[in-house]
Structure 1
Amino acid sequence: MRTGTRRTLFLVGCLVTGLVAGLAVWWEPRVPQDPPTPLETSWSAVPAREPEIGVGVRVGGRSAEDGWVLMASEELARATPPDDVVDCRGLQEWALREGALPAGAATHTITVSANYHTTVESVFVKVSPDPTPYPRTSAGGPWVRLACLPQPGAQVPLPDPDRPEFVVNREPSMFESAYRSLTLSEQYAVTPGSPADVEVVVDLRGTTGPSAYRFEIGLTEGNEFRMLPVNGGAPMFATEDGGGMGYWPATALWTMSPTRTHTYCEAVSNPAPDQEPACS
């Protein structure tokens, strides 16, 4: 019996010793481990910018030293532009935003821009009438000539009305070389922040009031031709000048230097040979 008792006590002692050792290990303080260091890579998670090229068209685009003539409502023709408008370029941008329209033969600037370096081999241009109604019919109509001169006595460099590149609202006569579409074959270098500007003259005559027209432009680049959206797909608007031998439209003239001055001349119907408009 003693031998069995000793054997039993020995086994119990072993179990107790193992349990104590196990508890000691379980209660041992855990030291937090640092997260694994990510592997260094030579690439960025930000995707590369896709190459983009685009075209836009604006009326004029002249320098600050060039004058111009637009058609405007009487309200706009008598309005005072913001104080930060200090030259004819700024005045033109403000007037067009406020609803002034080109008339007659008007210079337009096509701008080609890209976020990469490229060469455009040619530019295809088409100008055509559009059925979109003029959205400002309640603004009194663009019946007043709104003009800007950089300084007194300056001349407005109006395009020759007999030599436009494009016509919109009528077919060119047999004596004109104007077209509805034309390919400009000159090459244009375009870089980020340095777009290419192409000037064209558009004959906007042929309607009795405000009308819409649309540019369609395609580029040949790297022997590949593609059409591109213009001005977000929105049409442009123009109107008739309305002047002639028996009628002088009202005229509002801004002279920008040496001080910004405004003169408004009333309309005259059936003027006499020596008659002068009444201006204030």
Structure 2
Amino acid sequence: MSARRRVALLLATFALSWALSFAVIEALRDDGDDDRPALPPGAAATGSPPSAGTTASSADAVSLTATLTGTRHSHELALEVTEPQARMVPPPQVRDCRQFASWAQREGALPVGFEPVHLLTIRAERSVDVAIHGVVAVPVAQILREREQGPWVELACRQDPPTPTATPEVRDNGEPHVLVPGQTIRLVVDLSDPESAAATFPGGGWNYYLRVDLEIDGVTRSYELRDEAGEHFRCCGRTTFMGYQAARYEWTISPKPTLRYCPELNYVDKPPPRVCQAREPG
């Protein structure tokens, strides 16, 4: 056998041996011991796996706002105002009762009742579990209103029921809510039961902010909320006393502002029914 043929035979033997070794190694690697989950169709493995314990901040999980909607005394938002203010025609930009209430309060109106009730709007920025653990009104400054500035009357707004496509308002029952990104819920909430008498929201008119303890994915975080303009909330005036109910003005905003007037009531035992009639604005 020539030297050239011996070299060719050695090279062929080496190549065959290397190919068999590579096949054995690949078979051992694919024998089912790799328990890593398969990627979903169309997915690609990019970057490094996240470190253990890294999660999105709970502060970024939701956005939260609050609106004063009434008091435990009244499910509607009735307002204490002077009589000239009650007859004042709302400006053209006021097109619903929410805007009416905001405008009236900027003009000095004070919600009527004994304890404020709020609507919390919670929007999920990612998939999240949320639950309300506590809602506390924290007084900041007392609102002094002299009776001599009156006579004080009651002001209210009337509008059509919300459309079926509107996000419904439900009363919070303390149960958790599972939200998906972009989902919004609107919860009517009372103030939490105080741990002591000193924590009770005081009577009379007060500026206050709202402290909401919200559990987000098992972690409780406190939010300090103000109204939509970033100002303190205001509550609570009074238009009903023993044997007396102040006169009442009711505005309907749409399709055009109209006014209804209900005279004051004086009585000994039970209040008689209201007798109201249309009245010219202004």
Q: Which amino acid aligns with 2:87?
A: R
**Is the alpha carbon distance of 1:199 and 1:274 closer, same or farther for their aligned partners in structure 2, counting shifts above 3 Å?**
closer
Q: 2:224 aligns to what?
A: 229
Superposition pairs of residues 164-179 of structure 1, within 5 angstroms: none
Contact persistence 1:190–1:196 (CA under 8 A): no
Cα drift, residue 206 of structure 1 = 6.5
- When residues 270 and 254 of structure 1 are mapped into structure 2, their CA distance, relative to the original with a 3 A threshold, is same
1:267 and 1:277 in contact (8 A); partners too: no
Shift, 1:261, TM fit: 0.9
Taking a change above 3 Å as real, the CA distance of residues 237 and 267 of structure 1, as seen in their structure-2 partners, is same
1:95 aligns with 2:104: yes
TM-score calculated relative to the size of structure 1: 0.53
What CA deviation, in whole Å up to 9, does each residue of 1:211-265 have, x standing for no partner?
Answer: 2444211222222222122228864221233314521212111123554211344
Paired position in structure 2 for 1:118: 127
Query: Which whole-Å CA distance do the structure 2 matches of 1:125 and 1:240 have between them?
Result: 24
Q: Quote the residue 2:9 is aligned against.
A: none
State how far apart, in whole Å, the 1-side matches of 2:225 and 2:184 are.
15
Contact 2:262 / 2:274 at 8 angstroms: preserved in 1? no
Percent sequence identity is 26
Given that 1:211 and 1:238 are in contact with CA atoms closer than 8 Å, whether structure 2 keeps it comes out as yes
Cα RMSD between the aligned structures? 4.3
Q: Which has the larger radius of gyration?
A: 1
Q: Which amino acid aligns with 2:206?
A: S
Equivalent residue pairs, number:
196
Kept in 1, the 8 Å contact 2:153–2:249? The answer is yes
CA distance, structure 2, for counterparts of residue 99 and residue 190 of structure 1: 40
Partner secondary structure for residue 95 of structure 1: helix
Residues 146-157 of structure 1 mapped to structure 2, 5 A cutoff: 146-150=155-159
Select the residue among 228, 239, 242 that pairs with 2:239: 242
Cα offset, 1:266, TM superposition: 4.7
Q: Which runs of 5+ in 2 are unaligned?
A: 1-58, 162-170, 193-199
1:202/1:80 CA distance change after superposition, 3 Å = farther
Q: How does 1:41-190 map to 2 (within 5 A)?
A: 51=60, 53-60=62-69, 68-104=77-113, 107-113=117-123, 116-128=125-137, 130-134=139-143, 140=149, 143-150=152-159, 184-189=174-179
1:196 aligns with 2:191: no
